Amino acid sequence: DSGVTQTPKHLITATGQRVTLRCSPRSGDLSVYWYQQSLDQGLQFLIQYYNGEERAKGNILERFSAQQFPDLHSELNLSSLELGDSALYFCASSGPGAVLTDTQYFGPGTRLTVL
Amino acid sequence: AQKITQTQPGMFVQEKEAVTLDCTYDTSDQSYGLFWYKQPSSGEMIFLIYQGSYDEQNATEGRYSLNFQKARKSANLVISASQLGDSAMYFCAMRDSGYSTLTFGKGTMLLVSP
């Protein structure tokens, strides 16, 4: 158990809908990262938050947004869902992320299926 | 730009044997970190081992060790005495000093047979 929690574990929804994925980082970790894992794209970094502020942005679509709350939990919002958004979404957490040795610990993931 | 290459889509090994999973990387930075993660069929990503570019010794964690060859830009994972529970996808990842995020390779599927 990495100490990172994600809910829900599975999510099935229809095209055009909006969903929210939730992540709680390990105790003491200030950085939260979101990744998308799909068969064709592999593991892709989406976005990072550090202590409530956006720190880095990767291949995140405009239909997707995220935030980190004062209690450090984070939510990833996916809207106008398309079939191609079906994937495993991971949240990871680490220390400040400014040190190379900061290891990212991953949550169990949320498997999103868009029908 | 950072790049991680894992050239072995799949590897087979017998129980109790050692196996090496290849990873090469590309970065123009002198300061970087290399990570290996394991993803079993259940889906979670499990951190295995870390190697820093300035570390003089190869990293070891139990049955996992990292064969780090800086000049060749390779960071191969060695699993000694394979167990059935080692069957999983293995990902190599890198972070360099310009980024706080990880860049992952495409992974290698390891199957351990009895």
Give pLDDT tens digits for B43-79.
999 999 999 999 989 999 999 999 999 999 999 999 9
Interface mutation vs chain B, best among A43, A46, A111, most B CBs within 10 Å: A43
Residues A113 and A13 sit within 8 Å (Cβ to Cβ): yes
With tokens 């003089």, the residue in question is B56
Q: Which residues of A touch B107 (CB under 8 A)?
A: 42
For residue B13, give both structure tokens.
Answer: 């090994």
Give pLDDT tens digits for A45-69.
999 999 999 999 998 999 999 999 9
Cis previous bond, A8, omega within 30: yes
Q: Which residues of B touch A31 (CB under 8 A)?
A: 100
For residue A73, give both structure tokens.
Answer: 């939990």
For residue B44, give both structure tokens.
Answer: 């979670």
Q: Determine the average pLDDT of the residues in B87-114.
A: 91
Residues A96, B15: Cα–Cα separation, whole Å: 39
